[in-house]
Amino acid sequence: MPAAAFLAVQDADARRTPDPPPATAERGGLQNDLEDRPTPIRFSAYEIRRLVVPVQPQPPRAERIRHGLAWSYWRRCHRAVARARHRRHHDHGTARPPPRTAAAQSISN
């Protein structure tokens, strides 16, 4: 992603420089028609990423699938550990009663 970083720095530099003075309307013809168009806003970081990623070389499809599955497995394991730690942290050692089932609710009513 060095290209994205380069474009982001260029965009930040462009934001620091003042806008050029407005062009005069003395010119006629096609040039004047082009000046009537609105000036597009500067690139956002997200747009830079959207422009740079497709032009980068991509690994073979099988490798992308294998990487995606490995990442998914890692993420699900990480979430399981985080969930267990969260529950252990918020449990404070107190025992919770088991959840009430539909049968237990009908008996108590």
Residue 24 pLDDT more than 60? Answer: no
Residues present in the chain in total: 109
- Gap between the Cα atoms of 49 and 53, Å rounded: 6
Residues 6+ apart with CB under 8 A from 7: 43, 48, 51, 52
Closest CA to 46 of 8, 10, 14: 8
Q: What is the pLDDT of residue 92?
A: 64
Closest CA to 13 of 25, 21, 5: 5
CA 99-94-101 angle, 5° bins: 5
Tell me the pLDDT of the chain averaged across its residues.
77
Contact 37, 49 (CB under 8 A): no
Tokens of 82: 């985080």
- Gap between the Cα atoms of 103 and 105, Å rounded: 5
For 36-76, the pLDDT digits (tens) are: 777 888 889 899 888 888 888 989 999 999 999 999 999 99
| Whether the predicted model's global pTM rises above the 0.75 cut | no
Report residue 3 CA to chain centroid gap: 17
